[in-house]
Structure 1
Amino acid sequence: MGSVLSQEEVDALLQGVASDDVAGEKDDEEEYDPEEIVSFDLTAQDRIIRGRMPTLEIIHDRFVRLFRLTLSNALRRVVDINVRSTELIKFGEFIKTLPVPTSMNLFRMTPLRGNAMMVFETRLVFTLVEMFFGGGGDVETKAEGRDFTEIESRMIKRVIISGLEDLQTSWRPVFPAQVNYVRSEVNPQFVSIVPHSEIVVVVTFDIEIGRAPMSIIVCVPYSMIEPIRTRLNAGFQSEQDEKDNTWSNRFKQNLQKVDVELIAKLGEMNISVRDFLNLQKNDVLYLEHETKSPISIEVNGVKKFTGFQGAYKGHKAINIDELIYQPPEVDEMLG
């Protein structure tokens, strides 16, 4: 146990507290270099972007399916495409990752403002061109320091336009934008779809044709899709439900116009084949049915009602007496 303070020590301690002159350890005040202080802007674009955009992921998944089929048909071989990643980064950081040359293809999504970009890596360009001309795609061409040839540029432009058509189809259920090709560049320094400090959505797709995987990148400025952010969060599902309801209503309307066969069975009996072959005109068949008993009414071969035969306005008629089978509502039939 520690020593007990004497009365003099207690009085001295209380006096020191009253005069704010207690001796003790004090944390040294840290000194900061003004040059090391970085301002924090809470209104900056990269601070206000929150949450995922699940509908945007659905759009890209659909683009993968469409573009995979487009390339497979064009190359006449199986092409596999998958979404590798979706990132929100500054445009300046993204553009630094692109080598020279790179096939950068600008496009618009009218009526949205600004340009977006579809990027094909250099090796993919050479592989596609070689395959279009009958090669195997195992190309080892080094492209550093040169532009694409006119033939390479034309062939890739055709692929890009087909890809943009698939992208437009993918966007249609969410937002009916008109996707149009603008121009192509090979040097990242000449591409400035937004200022370097602005945020872009960068979606990277892995494409497998030859031995090694290659990549396609779609870069869309966040400011471009921000006006339709609510649609990207929930619009796809609601529009899809609306389409489903339209289809269901049309189906129900057409279903009610379908003709069905209704037969009122007056009776039936069993006879042998010999008696059947010997039937002649004016022969009488005795049915196993009493006149006062209800008869069976069938719809497409299924018993649905019972009723009684009679006459109405000079025509033979059936008066429905009992409902045997309760038909389900059309909504239940549609699930």
Structure 2
Amino acid sequence: MSDDFEDFLPDPPAGDFNPDTPLDQAGIDALFGDVGGPVEPKQGLRALIESDVVSHERLPMLEVVFDRMVRIFATSMRNLTSDAIDVSLEEVSSVRFGDFMGRVMLPAMIGVFRVEEWENYGLITVDSGLIYSVVDALLGGRRGGDSMMIDGRGFTTIETDLVGRMLRHALSDMSSSMAPITPNTMSLERIETSPRFATIAGSTNICAVATFRVDMDERGGRFSILLPYATIEPVRHLLGQRFMGEKLGRDNIWEAHMAAEIRQTDVTVDVVLGERMLPLAQVRDFDVGQTISLFHGPDEPLELQCGGVTLGRAQIGQRSNNVAVRLVSDIAKGVRQ
């Protein structure tokens, strides 16, 4: 009878997971989202790990640094090329290192620089349009017109050296812009033309990227500065401030006011003549006029306490017909931990 009813039961869904059945390769691929061709969307753990949504901490002071750099770098480029230069900050964003390197348009130059105080590295990338514009301007080319684009060959030593001068100016100006926040020394270590040789972080590491636009007489291009979050970790608390000089939990005006009020506060100080442990039965039998020995001589120093905390030691005496105490130890040295 039971076998007849089992024929009418619906088959279990194909996607249900049975803990008693070991996973085959198809099941493992389904768990990690690798179940289709290149057009299939990512699923499972792979969709979570390789998500394009980057959750990051906003760093207001880093944006201020890049804004200051725009003005300083524009002056440096005018002195370098003797042309009318316009520098603008296009975007400050956070991306994964692998996604950024995958979007670098070749041919390009990638400068690897080191921040000595942070003991880590950053990147500065220059697109081909700005490369040829800088080379053309420094070699005395005519103003205006389209930038010369030469494909199929690498950059010459002269072109690399000329662009390297611009990169050193950019790093120096960025270091000057960040100096009011934290001391730093940025030095260009090398210039690469392949993203493969400019890897300074893991592909999934989060990085802060600032993209700048440089225009010089109808020619120009873009360059970007990339700082991995691991690089700026030593100064992240400074870059996360809302304004320069912010001090969390401290205000000079209120600090002075509180200090003045504390000095005028009345404090009750206790002079402890002595202490003795007694059983509760003996305390219960106390009588009027009973004498309790404290095992202290009249000339021995007594403890001076405030709120149960020992401040120092003092001797008891008389002054102007009043009971008085005189400190015989420094307050700091008399405190017991």
TM-score, normalised to structure 1's length?
0.58
Offset at 1:39? 2.1
Alignment partner of 1:56 out of 59, 62, 72: 62
Map of 2:298 onto structure 1? none
Map of 1:205 onto structure 2? 212
Alignment partner of 2:93 out of 70, 87, 91: 87
Flag the structure with larger Rg: 1
Q: Percent identity?
A: 25
Report how many aligned residue pairs link the two structures: 215
The answer to whether residue 103 in structure 2 is matched with residue 106 in structure 1 is no
In structure 2, how many angstroms separate the alpha carbons of the residues matched to 1:101 and 1:192?
Answer: 17
The alignment yields a C-alpha RMSD, in angstroms, of: 3.0
Offset at 1:208? 1.2
Q: Determine if contact 2:88/2:213 at 8 Å carries over to the other structure.
A: yes
**Secondary structure of 1:112 counterpart:** coil
In structure 2, how many angstroms separate the alpha carbons of the residues matched to 1:79 and 1:206?
Answer: 10
In structure 2, how many angstroms separate the alpha carbons of the residues matched to 1:30 and 1:89?
Answer: 38
Unpaired runs of 5+ in structure 1? 1-27, 246-335
Seen in structure 2, the aligned counterparts of structure 1 residues 121 and 42 have a Cα distance that, compared at 3 Å, is closer
Unpaired runs of 5+ in structure 2? 1-11, 17-29, 34-42, 253-337
Offset at 1:29? 6.9
The answer to whether residue 156 in structure 2 is matched with residue 149 in structure 1 is yes
Seen in structure 2, the aligned counterparts of structure 1 residues 140 and 76 have a Cα distance that, compared at 3 Å, is closer
1:15-34 deviation line (CA, Å, top 9, x unaligned) = xxxxxxxxxxxxx9793753
Seen in structure 2, the aligned counterparts of structure 1 residues 141 and 117 have a Cα distance that, compared at 3 Å, is same
The AA in structure 2 aligned to 1:34 is L
Map of 2:202 onto structure 1? 195
Seen in structure 2, the aligned counterparts of structure 1 residues 209 and 107 have a Cα distance that, compared at 3 Å, is same
Q: Determine if contact 1:101/1:146 at 8 Å carries over to the other structure.
A: no
1:206-262 deviation line (CA, Å, top 9, x unaligned) = 11113255101001111111221110022852179xxxx9xxxxxxxxxxxxxxxxx
In structure 1, how many angstroms separate the alpha carbons of the residues matched to 2:243 and 2:119?
Answer: 21
The AA in structure 2 aligned to 1:211 is E
Query: Superposed, which structure 2 residues align to 1:1-335 within 5 Å?
Result: 31=15, 33-36=30-33, 37-39=43-45, 49-137=55-143, 138-212=145-219, 214-234=221-241, 237-238=244-245
**Secondary structure of 1:237 counterpart:** coil
TM-score, normalised to structure 2's length?
0.57
Seen in structure 2, the aligned counterparts of structure 1 residues 39 and 85 have a Cα distance that, compared at 3 Å, is same
Q: Determine if contact 1:89/1:202 at 8 Å carries over to the other structure.
A: yes
Seen in structure 2, the aligned counterparts of structure 1 residues 108 and 45 have a Cα distance that, compared at 3 Å, is farther
Identify the structure with the greater helix proportion: 1
Offset at 1:145? 3.1
**Secondary structure of 1:234 counterpart:** coil
Offset at 1:139? 4.5
In structure 1, how many angstroms separate the alpha carbons of the residues matched to 2:79 and 2:135?
Answer: 15
Map of 2:315 onto structure 1? none
**Secondary structure of 2:177 counterpart:** helix
**Secondary structure of 1:134 counterpart:** coil
In structure 2, how many angstroms separate the alpha carbons of the residues matched to 1:225 and 1:213?
Answer: 30
The AA in structure 2 aligned to 1:120 is V
The AA in structure 2 aligned to 1:101 is P
The AA in structure 2 aligned to 1:234 is Q
